[in-house]
Structure 1
């Protein structure tokens, strides 16, 4: 995906999410629209969607289960849409003007339970590894193998069984 969203864009998305602990996809799109307005550029909704999709696929942003979320004075994300939190493959950076977003957007104070989030990420990693093995998707397996190292550094979870299975499959195909 040479002409797709860059790693810098992925990390900028994570930086915006990190400002709030978690955001729904709609809230993240709104934040990015505000940044575009501040910099007097046009909003490309398709580009925003592609960047968010890539960030989720690469574990820079991860879907957060309702059990991992807390928020003051608003309905939970599960009642509206999936929440996104900063994932293990992110190196959050703030795009220009992002520090003003908490003053611009009406988003209450939020927190993420890292233990519940890391359990959900490990479960997703297992499911995606099984699917990639079943599909014979070597490219995805290599990405997931890299993600196992990120997850291990990010949270106190045991990813070794998943990584061992992924690497065995990759080595078998090589």
Structure 2
């Protein structure tokens, strides 16, 4: 059976989410895909404890992309006032550039519409030029806001170069 499905993740998915996210963003496995942060940061991208905190946030959800009982992608979404914050958009490094990320992004935008949000917002490390271009091709625009990178290596990794975040947003319109 060749079924794919985007649905809310549950706490039972924490171990698989942790493995997927870290494999896609850090270490040698992440170099198979184009979304690696391995040249910018050492350490982990997330942990099971951080994921548990995300699940404890009543304003947040993690959508997961599963095909043939395999977790292949996910995205973290958090309602912040009239906006839906998007983070941790992840696709298995072996399957990047195959449309899974786009499908997760579309599901996030639909959730924003369903919740009558003004916009989907996110922060991106400015050195990630290909990623910024990918989001901009999908209608996201830079807001001009810059945020400091968290000084918490145990939780976010150890920067190899000075890092910050730039903010992007995409205004949401009703269908």
TM-score by length of 2: 0.30
* Structure with the largest fraction of helix: 1
Structure 1 or 2: more strand by fraction: 2
Larger Rg: 1
